[in-house]
Amino acid sequence: MKLPFLLLSLVIPMSALGANVDIEPIPDLPLGNTPSASSMGRVPSAAGAWKFSLGGGISYAPLYEGAASNHPRFIPLLEANYNDGHIFVSVLRGIGYNFSETRGVQYGVRLTPGHRRKQSVDPHLYGMGDIGFTPEVGLFLNRRFAPWYVSGGIATGSHGTHAELGGGIG
C-alpha cells in the first residue's frame, strides 16, 4: 500500500469562524511540535475539555489501494478530542482512545471507515464489483523523536487485515 504524501496543509483557527474553542494540532500528524502550555504562559486546559482542529491539505496518492498511478485530491483535516486527546473523533484517524499519558508517545484502539472503491475508476477493475465503506477495528502506535516521528498501526475489517508504517520529520 502506498501512503499518501501530504504536499500542503492549512489550519484555520476556529476563532476566525466565530467559535470560541481551543485549537490544537492533530496529534499523530506531522504538523510540527507544539510548545507545552507552560512554555507559552498558558494555564493547561482542564481535563474533560473539548478541543477542535480544522484544516485541509492536498494528497498525491492512488485512487484506491493497488492503483498504478497517483492523483492529487483535497484531504480535510477535522478533529475533535476530549480529555487531552485521550478520546478522539477524526476524519483521518476515526474514533478512538489513546491510552498514553506521555506527550511523545501515543498508543490505543480506534474504529475507522475502511477504504472504498468503485470498479468504474479503472478498466482493470471491471467485473470485480464495487467495495463500499465498512468499519475497521485497529490498534495504533505513534512515537516522536524530535524532530522525527514514527507512526504505525494495524486494522482489520470485512475486506481483510492491513498494517501501516510511516515516519517523517515535522
Q: What is the DSSP string of 19-61?
A: ----B---TTS-S-PPPPTTTTTPPPPPTT-EEEEEEEEEEEE
Q: Return the higher-pLDDT residue of 28 and 84.
A: 84
- Domain ranges in the chain? 5-169
- Lowest mean pLDDT: which of 53-57, 63-67, 91-95, 145-149? 63-67
The position carrying cell 485512487 is: 63
Mean pLDDT of the chain: 75
State whether residue 140 is helix, strand or coil.
strand
Q: Taking 50 as the threshold, does the pLDDT of residue 20 lie above it? A: no
Residue type, 51: K
Cβ neighbors of 78 (< 8 A, separation 6 or more) are 53, 54, 55, 90, 91
Find where cell 485549537 sits: 23
Mean predicted confidence (pLDDT) in 65-78: 84
Higher pLDDT, 41 or 161: 161
* 114-127 pLDDT, tens digit each: 777 888 888 888 88
Work out the pLDDT band at 103, boundaries 50, 70, 90. confident
Reported as a pLDDT band with limits 50, 70 and 90, residue 131 is confident
